[in-house]
Amino acid sequence: MVKIILVLAMSLGSLLGFSQETTISKTFNVVVNVNEIKSNDGTVYCALYTSAESMMKRKAAQRLTAKVAEGSSTITFKNVESGVYSIVCVHDLNNNGQMDFNDMGMPLEKYGVSNNAINPYGPPTFSDTKFEVKDTNLTFEIELF
């Protein structure tokens, strides 16, 4: 009888040792729809940033491209962890892999950002364009300016 109680106590103790809660990192998709693109030429580039510093240094967590078809383009950032992010998209009309500017520093190609927050006095800021990925997939409709 003592032997049975001892075996049960040891079994129960080993089960309790494995009952620690494990944290599973869940990821989400962030879908970006860019519509009303005036030309099917070129490529849409989108970058997902994690902070103001990464945005200013152009150090994106993810960069994706998509062709334009019938005036629209869709990009899906996959495996995005919970956190605060910002998105910047550029329609690279001439496919040179960069955003073109005139001599005064004004963009020659259309661009858009999350929250459609355009700053008329300079580049968009992280604080104006940020959003939170928390517990669900997200979809954005980004307008090019």
**What is the spatial distance between Cα 75 and Cα 67, in angstroms, rounded to a whole number?**
10
Stated pTM of the model: 0.82
| Residue 52 scores a pLDDT above 80 | yes
**What is the spatial distance between Cα 44 and Cα 63, in angstroms, rounded to a whole number?**
11
Residue 120's pLDDT band (cuts 50, 70, 90)? confident
Sequence spans of domains, the chain: 26-142
Asked if 84 and 130 count as a contact pair (C-beta separation under 8 A), the reply is yes
Asked if 43 and 33 count as a contact pair (C-beta separation under 8 A), the reply is no
Q: Residue 90 to residues 2, 24, 79, 94, 137: CA-CA distances in angstroms?
A: 75, 34, 22, 11, 23
Q: Which amino acid is at 93?
A: L
**What is the spatial distance between Cα 36 and Cα 44, in angstroms, rounded to a whole number?**
12
Decide if domain 26-142 falls under CATH 3.50.50.60: no
Residue 122's pLDDT band (cuts 50, 70, 90)? confident
Find the angle CA(92)-CA(61)-CA(77) to the nearest 5 degrees: 70
Q: Give residue 23's pLDDT.
A: 56
Provide mean pLDDT across the span 31-59: 97
Q: Which residues have a Cβ under 8 Å from the Cβ of 144 and sit 6 or more positions away?
A: 34, 36, 37, 89, 91, 110, 111, 112
Q: Give residue 49's pLDDT.
A: 98
Question: How does pLDDT run across 3-37, given as a tens digit for each residue?
Answer: 433 333 444 344 344 444 455 679 999 999 999 99
Give the number of other Cβ atoms within 10 Å of residue 56's Cβ: 12
Provide mean pLDDT across the span 38-64: 97
User: Following CA atoms 53, 56, 58, 60 in sequence, which dihedral angle do they give, to the nearest 10 degrees?
Assistant: 40
